[in-house]
Structure 1
């Protein structure tokens, strides 16, 4: 009795593997994109906190407009 795989069995296995890959790869891609967005949001939140701390320590700068003016004047 021959114990080798038939061509149909190999084709079905290849189809199942490709189907799983077709489902998994886009989901993984979306997860990496979402994690990058979350990372940027966290960085912006940290920047906002740092600016607020700076404003509390140095009372004379209160807004983004004043920060930009302060940076441009110092050039």
Structure 2
């Protein structure tokens, strides 16, 4: 009697492995992207608190990262862009008056899909500062958190939903 596997048995095993891979791969990529976004969220939090301290001391929002009391890393291979290995971080250009808004944006480029994490800090007339985080398209340059259109922003929506557990604004 011959020992070994038949061709049908081998094909069934390969088919089962293929099905398991097809199910697991999307889950793996979203988990990896969620982990990569943690880098940007941590950096944005550091910038946020440093910008708030600067605003309280100087009565104006910072014009650049150089004036903050934290060290913001440069993007590897760049001398002008700030961020990390996976994100490029920029700030808005607020007016510096009471009631103004300061925006920190971290843009991620993933193949053809781009998305951005944004922290919008608003100072009220009484001097209190509130911050809202959101995730959206990298082309959104507004000073507020918008909503994603699932038909035109499919790539951004996919990553934002994974990162924010489906709550793209104020997560």
Same fold (TM over 0.5): yes
Which residue in the other structure is 2:95 paired with? 65
Which residue in the other structure is 1:53 paired with? 53
For structure 1, the 5+ residue unaligned runs are 68-75
Q: Distance in 1 between matches of 2:34 and 2:21?
A: 20
Show the 5 A alignment for 1:1-75: 1-56=1-56, 58-61=57-60, 64-66=94-96
Q: Normalization by structure 1: what TM-score? A: 0.69
Pairwise CA distance, 1:66: 2.1
| Structure possessing the higher radius of gyration over alpha carbons | 1
Pairwise CA distance, 1:29: 0.6
Q: Distance in 1 between matches of 2:95 and 2:48?
A: 15
Q: Output the aligned Cα RMSD.
A: 2.3
Instruction: Give 4+ residue runs of structure 1 displaced > 3 Å after superposition.
Output: none
- C-alpha contact (below 8 Å) 2:55/2:61 kept by paired residues: yes
Cα distance change of structure 1 residues 62 and 25 upon mapping to structure 2, 3 Å threshold: closer
Tell me how many residue pairs correspond in the alignment.
Answer: 66
For structure 2, the 5+ residue unaligned runs are 63-93, 98-171
Q: Which has the higher contact order (CA 8 A, sep 6+)?
A: 2
